[in-house]
Amino acid sequence: EDQVTQSPEALRLQEGESSSLNCSYTVSGLRGLFWYRQDPGKGPEFLFTLYSAGEEKEKERLKATLTKKESFLHITAPKPEDSATYLCAVEASNTGKLIFGQGTTLQVKP
Amino acid sequence: NAGVTQTPKFRVLKTGQSMTLLCAQDMNHEYMYWYRQDPGMGLRLIHYSVGEGTTAKGEVPDGYNVSRLKKQNFLLGLESAAPSQTSVYFCASRWTGTDTQYFGPGTRLTVL
């Protein structure tokens, strides 16, 4: 069964304190792994898609990496505006459907 | 370009009442999806559509029906609402040539 698990569930950081969020997955043939950001009361906002092990993508203070079993979202020197819930999802080959993890809620304090 | 819009934003129903949630997109996307989001459960796929006139079941389809009569609209119906359907509902769409789904702002539904 295709499954996505994110850890930790919640993370509190001080401004400038770098850390990583984990997304572990089991899927029958990975077509893509997706990271989304979700602010309270809003819909998920697309961040990255990763397709193969070893791939990395960056956007401002965020960097996503992918291995055959997990993905990491590295946050370097976070700011309070990075506070949000980060969602990970996978798409199995040829399904066109995403399977989401439960999310990691990040709070960055000034 | 409004992207993906959802109507209404909030709704309170009594058990047994019916309602329809509307999702509209102006990006000419072929694929459209309905998800529900519950605390600790993540987003779960209810129904989806790969094109006008087509629909298919997702992970949690029971108690819901959908229709895609026009390419830009995807309707989610609850025929007889139950308290277990209290949730936040999100619509998403994507173009055939990409993998990225774009989400609407959500509808918060409470069933009493």
Q: Which phi and psi angles does A82 have, rounded to 5°?
A: -85, -5
Q: How far, in Å, CA of B43 to CA of A43, rounded?
A: 11
Burial class (CB in 10 A: 0-12, 13-18, 19+), B81: buried
- Other C-beta atoms within 10 Å of B51: how many? 13
Best probe of the A interface among B4, B99, B100, by most A CBs < 10 A, is B99
Which residues of chain B are within 8 Å of residue A101 when distances are taken between CB atoms? 42
pLDDT of residue A93: 79
Contacts of A74 (CB under 8 A, 6+ apart): A18, A19, A20, A62, A63, A64, A65
Q: Taking CB atoms and an 8 Å limit, are A98 and B43 in contact across chains?
A: yes
pLDDT number for residue B97: 80
CB-nearest to A43 from B42, B44, B106 is: B106
Q: Does B89 touch chain A (CB under 8 A)?
A: no
Model confidence at B17: pLDDT above 80: yes
Which chain A residues contact residue B103 at CB under 8 A?
Answer: 36, 43-45
The residue written with tokens 């072929």 in the block is: B30
Higher pLDDT, B28 or A1: B28
pLDDT(A76) > 80? yes
pLDDT of residue B96 exceeding 90:
no
Reported as a single tens digit per residue, the pLDDT across A7-51 is 999 999 999 999 999 999 998 889 999 999 999 999 999 999 999
What's the per-residue H, E or C state across A46-101? EEEEECCCCCEEEECCEEEEECCCEEEEEECCCCHHHCEEEEEEEEECCCCCEEEC
> What are the tokens at B27?
């990006």
Q: Is the pLDDT of residue B2 over 80?
A: no
Distance CA B36, CA B38 (A): 7
State the pLDDT confidence band at B54, using cuts at 50, 70 and 90: very high
